[in-house]
Structure 1
Amino acid sequence: MASKNALEAKGELLKDKWVLITGASKGIGEAVAVKFAQQGAKIALVARSQDKLEDTAEACKKAGAPEVDVVTCDMKSSKSIDEMAKTLLDRHKCMDVLVNSAGIFPMEGQTPLEGDPDEWEQNIQINLTGPMRLTRRLTPAMAEKGEGYHINISSSAGKHPSPKQCAYSAAKWGMTGFALSSAKALKEHGIRVMTIFPSVVDTDLARTRMEKEDLNPDNMIKPGDVCELVLLPFKVSANSVPQEVVLDVMKNPSA
C-alpha cells in the first residue's frame, strides 16, 4: 500500500471519498473545494448561489475531481438544510467528509447595548445551528460506514471573544464546544473532528471590513494557508487526529 506522502504526491490522498463543502461559492470554501479536488476527491458543493457554485464546480473539475455535485442551500433555513442533506445522501449514500465553511461576519456592533437581535439570531443560525443541523443529518451514514471526517472552519473569535462582536463570538464559541463534544462522542465510530481557528483571512468578507476598519490585506491570512491545514486529518497516522488548529498572523492586519 502506498504511503500517505506518496498518495498526496500523486494527488490521490482523497481518492474515492465524497467531500461536502458549505460556503463553497467563494472565499475559503471555494479554495478548500479546489484543494480537495487536487487530491482526487469527489466534491459536493453547497451555497446559496447556483451561478457561483457552477464556477467553483468548473474549477474543481479542472483541478482533478472525478465527480462534482452542486446543491443550493440556505444555511439559516432548517428545511433547506434537510432537503440538501437528503438530496446528497439519496444520490451518493454517504458524505465521507463534511467541511463546515459557510459563515457570516456582521459588520455592525453586536454588544448588549447595540445591534439588532434579529441579526444576532441570523448569525447564530448560519454560524452555529445550521452547521450543527447539517452535521446531525450526515453523521449517521459516516458512523454506519465506520469512518468519517468533520472539518470546521471557525475563527479566532472561537478562542478569543471580541468585545464588539458578542453574538458572533457566542456562535463561534458554541461551535468550539459542539466540535469538542462531537470529537469525544464519535471516536468509537471512527469519525475524526477537527476545527481550524484562523485569524483575519483575505476574503470578500474581510475586504468589506477593510473599508470600515482600515485593514492591511498584506497582513492577512490567505485562503490557501487554510487549505494547507484541511488535509491534516488525512496525513496523520490512523490513531491520531488534530482536533484544534490555530492559524495566527505575524503582523496585525490593523497595523
Structure 2
Amino acid sequence: MFHDKVALVTGGSQGIGLAIMHALLREGVFVAAVSRDANNLKQALDSVDPQYRDHVTGIQADVRSEEEVHHAIQRVMSTYGRIDILINSAGISMREKQNLQDTDVKEWNRMIDINLTGTYLMCREVIPVMKSQDMGYVINILSTASFRSGSGNGLYVASKYGARALTETIIEENRRTGVRVTSISPGAVDSTIWNHKTEPITQEERSTMLKTDDIASIVVYLVNLPPRVHIDNITVTPWYR
C-alpha cells in the first residue's frame, strides 16, 4: 500500500530508527533518514542493501533546532515532492538513574529538547504538508515510561509523558482528516541507547529485551493498514523480562 511513498525517519542512523529505515526500504518506500551525527549517518547509508540505495537520502540535522528541522523538510520536499510517513524516532535516555534533586538543568534541557521539542518541531513542519496532500501517517516512538513513572528516572519520564500528551493532542486535531497519528510505546529494547549508560548492561539482560526489528515490524504493520483504520497507541513489552 505504501510502495513508492516517501518517509522521513528521525534518529534514522542507529537503533530503532535505523531498523525502521531498513524495514520501510524493503517495503518499497523512499526514505529520508535524519541524524545529527554525520559519521553515524554515513555508516547507516553504507549499511543499506545496494538494491535500495537509490531509495534513501541522508540528511544531517538536529531535531532540537527549528532552523535545521525546517531545512530538512525543505530538502525532502525538493528531492521527493511529498512526505507520506513521518517517524519520530530520535530520542535519548538518562545515562544513570538520578533523583530529581541530583540532576542539573542541562540534563533536563537535553532530555526535553530531543524527546519532546524535536517531536513537536517535526510534527509542526510535516503535518501541514500531509494535510495539503490529504494523506499521511505520523508515528511517534515513545516508551512505556510515557505511562508509568519510576524513581530515579524523572527527567526521561517527564519527556515521554510530554510526548504522549503531544501525540494525543495531534490525534484530536487531525481526527477525521487524511492524516493519521499513532504512538508506539516499547519497553526495554536492545539498541545502541544502552551503550551510553554509566553502568553497563549485561548481555544476559539484553538478550531478554525487545529487538529493534520488532518495533520496525510494527511500523510496517501500521503503515499498511487501510486509511479507515486508526490505532492511537501500541504498547509492546518483552515477554520474558
- In the superposition, the TM-score normalised over structure 1's length comes to 0.87
Deviation digits for residues 188-234 of structure 1 (CA, Å, limit 9, x no counterpart): 33111111111111112124448346571111111111111002223
Q: Does the CA contact (< 8 Å) of 1:24 and 1:47 recur in 2? A: yes
Report the Cα distance in structure 2 between the residues aligned to 1:86 and 1:238, rounded to whole angstroms.
26
Cross-structure match for 1:180? 168
Report the Cα distance in structure 1 between the residues aligned to 2:212 and 2:49, rounded to whole angstroms.
19
Deviation of the 1:65 alpha carbon: 6.0
- Aligned-partner residue type, residue 218 of structure 1: S
2:217 pairs with 1:228: yes
Number of residues paired by the alignment?
A: 240
2:206 pairs with 1:217: yes
Given candidates 147, 156, 163, the residue that maps to 2:151 is 163
2:38 pairs with 1:50: yes
Report the Cα distance in structure 1 between the residues aligned to 2:153 and 2:68, rounded to whole angstroms.
27
- Aligned-partner residue type, residue 104 of structure 2: D
Q: Does the CA contact (< 8 Å) of 1:43 and 1:65 recur in 2? A: no
Correspondences of 1:1-255 after superposition (within 5 Å): 13-62=1-50, 64=52, 66-209=54-197, 211-212=199-200, 216-252=205-241
Deviation of the 1:81 alpha carbon: 1.7
Q: How large is the Cα RMSD of the aligned pairs?
A: 1.9
SS at match of 1:189: coil
Distance 1:213 1:27, change over 3 A: closer
4+ aligned runs moved over 6 Å, structure 1: none
Deviation of the 1:105 alpha carbon: 0.6
Report the Cα distance in structure 2 between the residues aligned to 1:211 and 1:38, rounded to whole angstroms.
36
Identify which range, 160-169 or 84-93, moves more after superposition. Answer: 84-93
Unpaired stretches in structure 2, ≥5 consecutive residues = none
Higher RCO (C-alpha 8 Å, min separation 6): 2
- In the superposition, the TM-score normalised over structure 2's length comes to 0.92
Deviation of the 1:103 alpha carbon: 0.5
Deviation of the 1:66 alpha carbon: 4.6
Deviation digits for residues 100-158 of structure 1 (CA, Å, limit 9, x no counterpart): 00111111334331111111011100000111111101111100110000011111111
Identify which range, 195-204 or 64-73, moves more after superposition. Answer: 64-73
Report the Cα distance in structure 1 between the residues aligned to 2:30 and 2:113, rounded to whole angstroms.
28
Q: Does the CA contact (< 8 Å) of 1:101 and 1:153 recur in 2? A: yes
Distance 1:88 1:106, change over 3 A: same
Unpaired stretches in structure 1, ≥5 consecutive residues = 1-12
